C-alpha cells in the first residue's frame, strides 16, 4: 500500500487543475540506482496497463506498475516546505536505504 498525506493530496489536485489533468490517476514509479538508493518519478497518466496496482489515498487514485511495487510498498508521499518558499514532494519510504524515520 502507498499513501499520500492530506497536504500532498491538496497539491496533487492543484497540479492536476493547473495542467488540466483532473480525474487522471497519479502514477508513481521507483528505480534502484547502482549505489542502492532509490530514484522516484510521478506524474498523471491516463493509461491503464494490465499489471498496474491501484490504490486510493486521500481521494487521489494512485497507480503503480508491478515492477515498482516492491520498492514502494509502505511509502507515504508528503508535500513539505524544504526551505522558506520552496516546497517539494518527498517520499517517506522504509524500503529506501536513505530513509530515516522521524524520531518521537
Q: Tell me the average confidence (pLDDT) per consecutive run of 10 residues in the chain, 104 residues long.
A: 95 94 94 92 89 94 94 95 93 87 64
pLDDT at 20: 93
pLDDT at 101: 74
pTM to 2 decimals? 0.87
Structural domains of the chain, ranges and CATH numbers in brackets: 3-92 (2.60.300.12)
Only one residue has cell 514532494, namely 89
DSSP symbols for 1-67: --EE-HHHHHHHHHHHHHTT-TT--EEEEEEE-TTS-EEEEEEE-----TTEEEEEETTEEEEEETT
Distances (CA, A) of 95 to 35, 46, 61, 85, 98: 14, 27, 22, 29, 9
Cα–Cα dist 71/96, whole Å? 8
Beta bridge partners of 83: 86
Amino acid at each position: 500500500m502507498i499513501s499520500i498525506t492530506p497536504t500532498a493530496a491538496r497539491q496533487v489536485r492543484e497540479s492536476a487543475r493547473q495542467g488540466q489533468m483532473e480525474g487522471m490517476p497519479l502514477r508513481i514509479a521507483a528505480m534502484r540506482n547502482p549505489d542502492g538508493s532509490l530514484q522516484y518519478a510521478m506524474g498523471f497518466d491516463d493509461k491503464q496497463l494490465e499489471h498496474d496496482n491501484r490504490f486510493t489515498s486521500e481521494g487521489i487514485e494512485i497507480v503503480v506498475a508491478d515492477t515498482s511495487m516492491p520498492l514502494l510498498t509502505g511509502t507515504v508521499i508528503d508535500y513539505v516546505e524544504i526551505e522558506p518558499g520552496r516546497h517539494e514532494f518527498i517520499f517517506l519510504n522504509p524500503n529506501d536505504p536513505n530513509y530515516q524515520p522521524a524520531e518521537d
